[in-house]
Amino acid sequence: MNQKKLVGEKAASFIEDNTVVGLGTGSTATYMVEALAQRVKEEKLSVTCVSTSNVTKELAIDLGLNVKELSEVDEIDLTIDGSDEISPDYQGIKGGGGALLYEKIVAVNSKKVIWIVDDSKMVDHLGAFPLPVEVIPFGSEHLFEKFKEKGYKPAYRMQDAANKFVTDAGNIIIDLHLEKIDDPKQLAQELESEVGVVEHGFFIDIVDQVIVGNKNGEVEVLTV
C-alpha cells in the first residue's frame, strides 16, 4: 500500500474551486500535485498554484496547472506540503528536499497549512531526522565550526561526492545531527540569531491539519 499516494490524493480533495494553492516539495507532495491536476482536468476547477521549489513548479506546469509567482498573488488559501518529522505537539522539521526556505515563505503567507505524511513521520520528539540549516556560502565555514563546537554534529549537504548541494535561492545547507531536540523553539531562536543563517528547518506553530497514512491503507486527518 502506497501511503504517500493515499495521503497525497486525500489532500487534493481539500482543494476548492477558485482558490490559490501552495504546492509543496517532495515525493509525497508530488502525488498531491498529480491528483490536483487530475481534479482540475476532470472537474474544470479554477485553481492558481504557487510552488515551493523549481522542481514542483516544473511538474505543475507540465501537468497543465496554472502556476504563478508568490509576488503575483495577494495571499494563499491553502498550502499542502510534506514533513520529515512531526512531534506530538505538531511542531515539524522540514527541508529534507532542500526547499525549506521557499516552503516556509509560502507557508507563512497561507491562510491554512496541511502536512501530508506517512505514519513513520509522527515521532515522540524531533531530532532523529537531521535539522537543515540554510546558510549563505560566504562565511559558512565559520558557522560550520561554531556548530561543531556546540556539539551539533554538522555536515554539509552534498549534491555529489565533490559538490555541495545548492538551494533554489543559491545557498548551501548544513545538516545538524542532533538525535534529540529538547527545546525546538529555543534552538530555533538561537539559529535565527546567527549571522549568515538564512533559515532553519524548524516549522514552529505553522500547521493547521496533518493527514497521516498508515500501512493498512487508512488515512487519518488530525486537526491542530
Q: Is 36 helix (H, G, I), strand (E, B) or coil?
A: helix
Sheet strand arrangement including 85-86: 85-86, 92-93, 202-203
State how far the Cα of 58 lies from the Cα of 154, in Å rounded to an integer: 31
Q: What is the DSSP letter of 145?
A: H
The count of other CB atoms within 10 Å of the CB of residue 88 is: 9
Q: Where are the alpha helices (DSSP H) in 21-88?
A: 27-43, 54-62
Q: Where are the alpha helices (DSSP H) in 44-198?
A: 54-62, 100-108, 140-149, 184-192
C-beta of residue 26 within 8 angstroms of C-beta of residue 81: yes
State how far the Cα of 3 lies from the Cα of 160, in Å rounded to an integer: 29
The catalytic residue among 85, 103, 134, 199 is 103
C-beta of residue 156 within 8 angstroms of C-beta of residue 164: yes
103 is catalytic: yes
Q: What is the helix (H) or strand (E) element at residue 15, kind and residue range?
A: none
What residues are annotated to the active site? 103
